Amino acid sequence: MKNILCFGDSNTYGYNPVTKGRFPDNIRWTGRLKCKVEKYNYSVIEEGLVGRTTVFEDSVRTGRKGSDFLIPLLESHFPVDTVILMLGTNDCKSIYNTTPHIIGKGIELLIKQIKDYNKDINILLISPIHLGEQVWKEEFDPEFCRQSVEVSKNLKWEYYRIARKYGCDFLAASDIVSPSKADQEHLDERGHRLLAGEISKRFERKVS
């Protein structure tokens, strides 16, 4: 079996925007992807974490800095054929006061880590969904601000440029799905289904 490592944040973890819990395996895009690609001899490894960033330290939650954990995960799940990398939403939080370009620098670091570890690992870089226009309001997630929404909207082109630079496959999640109206931030059940379907096409083409 070829291992696919899905390295991401709460939208890879499968955070449920309604219950505040976690979608079951058969709803999460990672679980759906597993069902779709296992016939092609692929195994899907879920490594999603709520609050994970590319390179930023979270001052109130430990262990969220993605660059600290990527290499250990590549080693513990050896051998890895493909990394699906979908991060950047949490980097948009107002506390980091950053830009799409700086977030892109964080993604570049992660890509370099993968390539330095093993240049033969395939990378599918996914730019995240846009934040909802009201996400910063008190009833949703005030860790974001109005500017966070604009930053999230500009990640697609930054990630596309980076994917081309490093020869990665690329997918813009924002072209396929939008955040749930329940919290303006996370995928709902339909979003997980659509994203899994689009990602699975990449692996179907490899074996066709």
* Parent domain of 131: 2-207
157-168 confidence digits (pLDDT tens): 999 999 999 999
For the chain, what percent of residues have pLDDT higher than 90? 95
Predicted pLDDT at 60: 84
User: pTM of the full predicted structure?
Assistant: 0.96
Rg (CA), the chain: 16
Contact call for residues 110 and 166 (beta carbons, < 8 A): no
pLDDT band at 125 (very low <50, low <70, confident <90, very high): very high
Question: How many domains does the chain contain in total?
Answer: 1
174-177 long-range Cβ contacts below 8 angstroms, 24+ apart? 174/127, 174/128, 174/129, 174/130, 177/129
Q: Which tokens go with 131?
A: 């934040």
pLDDT band at 204 (very low <50, low <70, confident <90, very high): confident
CATH, residue 198: 3.40.50.1110
Strand 122-127: give its sheet, edge to edge: 42-48, 2-8, 80-86, 122-127, 169-172
Q: Is residue 206 pLDDT above 80, yes or no?
A: no
pLDDT band at 116 (very low <50, low <70, confident <90, very high): very high
Predicted pLDDT at 208: 58
Q: Is residue 207 pLDDT above 90, yes or no?
A: no
3-state secondary structure 27-84: CCHHHHHHHHHHHHCEEEEEEECCCCECCCCCCCCCCCEHHHCHHHHHHHCCCEEEEE
